[in-house]
Amino acid sequence: MEIFLQQLVNSLSVASVIILIGIGITLIFGLTGIINFAHGEFLMIGGMTTWLVVSNGGGFIIGLVAAVLFVGLLGFVLERGLFRLTLDRPMNGFIISLGLIVVLQHFVIRFWNSYQKSIPEPLSGVWEIGGVQIIVMRAVVVLITAVVVAITFFGISRSRYGLALRASVADQETASLMGVPVRRYITGVFIYGSMLAGLGGALMIALFPITPFIGSTIVVRGFAVALIGGLGNVAGAVVAGLVLGLMDGLSAGYGLPEWTEAYSFALMILILLLRPNGLLGGTAGPRAV
Amino acid sequence: MSLLEVANVDTAYGAVAVNRDVSLSVAEGEIATILGPNGAGKSTLMRAICGLLKPKRGRIMLDGHDVTGLPPDRLAKLGVVMVPEGRRIFADLTVRENLRLGAYSREDQGEVEADIGRMESYFSILADKRSAKGGELSGGQQQMLAIARGLMARPRLLLLDEPSLGLSPLMVREVQSVIIDVRKNFGAAVLLVEQNAGLALSVAARGYLMQSGKIVLASAIADLRDSTLMRELYLGGGKRPPIKSRDVETL
């Protein structure tokens, strides 16, 4: 039982990073129809930003804030400079994102190198609660994610801007007739999704060493989460992230650890066969006009 | 000065020309209608007026200011709001959320709740269904919601595109009285596009007849009703144009 609980807590921290990525992917797809495969690279850049700050003497908190801001700025620039031009044909945005993977990865490798990077654990220590050992840093990662998810969720379900966002996901044209500046929301969602990816990268490098190639593994997870939860559906992404994260952790602890990735894809295929719109229902992309 | 002035507007979808040299005007607080057969270009013109489609040529003026080519969200802020064909209710949002969204462009967000109350007292069905999802409403209820949602912006000009489409005769009567009240109670001018000529003629003060993308007749509603062209098109009373061999081929 103790081992089970310990695996549970450990897998929650992995689930957190996947959820942060999944929210960005699902929001960007829901509003623009763009499948942004470079989103994993945004996370990698976030991790590398944190590493740069910390290895130059900055604290982890500064590194984390820098990662969030820098990747947010990157998202803004890429949306205004590239993705905006593809809004009429989201497939082109998808192709651009594939190119961006190569560009961003090699930018990092060119100026630093391809070896794995790590930072000293920002918070050391282990809590012991009833025989279950919880690594403090992992608990903090889960906590930060929970807060961010709660804020995101509250913002989308309660605020005026969240209402306009949900309406834009459902029907951009009618939302614009009601006065919603849809293009500005698209930029906003790109920035917000990128900031979450930057945060994910900072939290990830606090847990494990990362290489410039981490993006592709993570983005595939993020997509699985977005698809399982229902594209465009933030609550769905959170639920699916938890399910996948837990499955990862538990399969690593009990089943065959080398099959960890396969389990999540088997689950994704199964769920999509049974519920093609995802667990909580999603969108097929913005309404074609 | 007219509230809305459309001057020599051409529209097109890609290479396909739709409207040619269309001019019309709507005065403050007036109900005007554009009549015409299916495919005459009425809806396309409406899309151009509300900013969803950029005109190829010509100007659209609001209060004498050029608003040609402004995006729909800017026009909504200026008081031009369209209730689109097919209602386009946000099916997953509640009735109240649909109404609140209608007020998105307003500066006075503090008064939005009070206006939702006004809508609920005028359209009583919206009060009964306030927590229902938009998609759960019947066609007629959705049309009422669509009009109320448009009014939530406190528009100066409400564009109504085929509000009676697909409704029962009873609901059509209701839409008719709502349109009159939009002007009377809510102070908005209305530009109405309708297939149902009877409905349009009964509410409007001014009418435009559109055929093949062009305005072929513009006049006060009484003169329009009595015109030969109108009879030919709608009432079957005039002479029908002979069928040309070209038309037969396209069949």
Please tell me the least confidently modeled range out of A257-261, B31-35, B127-131: A257-261
Q: Please list the residues that pair with B192 across neighbouring strands.
A: B33, B160
Q: Is residue B122 part of a domain?
A: no
Question: Which regions of chain A does DSSP assign to beta strands (E)?
Answer: 126-129, 132-135
Pick among B104, B115, B133 to test the A interface (most A CBs inside 10 A): B104
Q: What's the structural domain count of chain B?
A: 1
pLDDT band at A288 (very low <50, low <70, confident <90, very high): very low
Q: Is residue B138 part of a domain?
A: no
Q: Is residue A143 part of a domain?
A: yes
Q: Is residue A222 part of a domain?
A: yes
The DSSP annotation for A131-165 comes to TEEEEHHHHHHHHHHHHHHHHHHHHHHHSHHHHHH
Q: Per 3-state DSSP, what percentage of chain A is helix, strand, and coil (rounded to 5)?
A: 75, 5, 20
Chain mean pLDDT for chain A: 88
Residue A154: the pLDDT is: 92
Flag whether pLDDT at B156 surpasses 90. yes
- Report the gap between the CA of A172 and the closest CA in chain B (Å): 11
Q: Which of A155-159, A257-261, B245-249 has the highest mean pLDDT?
A: A155-159
A182/B90 Cβ within 8 A: no
Q: What is the mean pLDDT of residues B152-158?
A: 95
- Report the gap between the CA of B237 and the closest CA in chain A (Å): 39
Chain B interface with A: residues with Cβ < 8 Å? 50-52, 71-73, 76-77, 81-82, 84, 88, 90-93, 97, 100-102, 104-106, 109, 149, 153
Amino acid letter for position B203: V
Residue A284: the pLDDT is: 63
Write out pLDDT tens, residues B86-105: 999 999 999 999 999 999 99
pLDDT band at B33 (very low <50, low <70, confident <90, very high): very high
Q: Is residue B113 part of a domain?
A: no
Q: Is residue B34 part of a domain?
A: yes
Residue A230: the pLDDT is: 86
A174/B93 Cβ within 8 A: no
Flag whether pLDDT at B212 surpasses 80. yes
Domain of A16, CATH number, reads 1.10.3470
Three-state SS annotation for B130-143: CCCEHHHCCHHHHH
Please state, for a pLDDT cut of 70, what percent of chain A lies above it: 96
Domain that holds residue A12: 2-274
Residue A49: the pLDDT is: 97
CA dist A50 and A62 (Å) reads 8
CA torsion angle A202 A206 A212 A215 (round to 10): -60
Q: What is the mean pLDDT of residues A191-209?
A: 95
Q: Using only C-alpha atoms, what is the Rg of chain A?
A: 19
Q: What is the mean pLDDT of residues A15-36?
A: 91
* Structure-model confidence comparison of residues B245 and B214, the more confident one: B214
Question: Which regions of chain B does DSSP assign to beta strands (E)?
Answer: 4-10, 12-13, 16-17, 22-26, 31-35, 57-62, 65-66, 80-83, 157-161, 189-193, 206-211, 214-220
Q: What is the mean pLDDT of residues A207-211?
A: 92
Looking at chain A, which residue has its C-alpha nearest residue B75? A179
Residue A285: the pLDDT is: 62
| Those residues with Cβ within 8 angstroms of residue A197's Cβ, 6 or more apart along the chain or in another chain | A20, A21, A24, A39, A40, A42, A43, A46, A71, A75
The DSSP secondary-structure symbol of A210 reads B
pLDDT band at A1 (very low <50, low <70, confident <90, very high): low
Q: Is residue B97 part of a domain?
A: no
Residue B228: the pLDDT is: 83
Q: Is residue B61 part of a domain?
A: yes
Q: What is the mean pLDDT of residues B32-51?
A: 92
Q: Which of A8-22, A147-161, B225-239 has the highest mean pLDDT?
A: A147-161
Q: Is residue A138 part of a domain?
A: yes
Flag whether pLDDT at A245 surpasses 90. no
B52/A171 Cβ within 8 A: no
Please tell me the least confidently modeled range out of A277-281, B92-96, B131-135: A277-281
Q: Please list the residues that pair with A135 across neighbouring strands.
A: A126
Please tell me the least confidently modeled range out of A103-117, B56-70, B104-118, B219-233: B219-233
Q: Is residue A284 part of a domain?
A: no
Q: Is residue A259 part of a domain?
A: yes
Looking at chain B, which residue has its C-alpha nearest residue A283? B92
Q: Is residue A287 part of a domain?
A: no
CA dist A149 and A141 (Å) reads 12
Altogether, the residues listed in chain A come to a count of 289
Q: What's the structural domain count of chain A?
A: 1
Q: Is residue A281 part of a domain?
A: no
Residue of B199, B171, B168 lying closest to B31 (CA atoms): B199
The DSSP secondary-structure symbol of B236 reads S
Q: Is residue A155 part of a domain?
A: yes
Q: What is the mean pLDDT of residues A223-231?
A: 88
A12: left (phi > 0), else alpha (psi -120 to 50), else beta? Answer: alpha
CA dist B181 and B187 (Å) reads 8
Residue B161: the pLDDT is: 95
CA dist B135 and A82 (Å) reads 36
How far lies A117's CA from each of A7, A60, A81, B200, B219, in Å?
Answer: 25, 14, 30, 71, 77
Domain that holds residue B63: 4-88+155-250
The angle that helices A182-207 and A39-55 make with each other, rounded to 10 degrees, is 50
Write out pLDDT tens, residues B219-246: 899 888 888 888 777 665 445 554 444 4
Pick among A159, A177, A184, A185 to test the B interface (most B CBs inside 10 A): A177
Chain mean pLDDT for chain B: 89
Write out pLDDT tens, residues A44-99: 999 999 999 999 998 999 999 999 999 999 999 999 999 999 888 888 989 999 99
How far lies A238's CA from each of A151, A229, A244, B65, B92, in Å?
Answer: 13, 7, 10, 48, 20
Domain of B166, CATH number, reads 3.40.50.300
State the ipTM, two decimals: 0.88
Residue A171: its chain B contacts at CB < 8 A? 88, 90
Write out pLDDT tens, residues A230-244: 888 888 899 998 888
Q: What is the mean pLDDT of residues A32-43?
A: 93
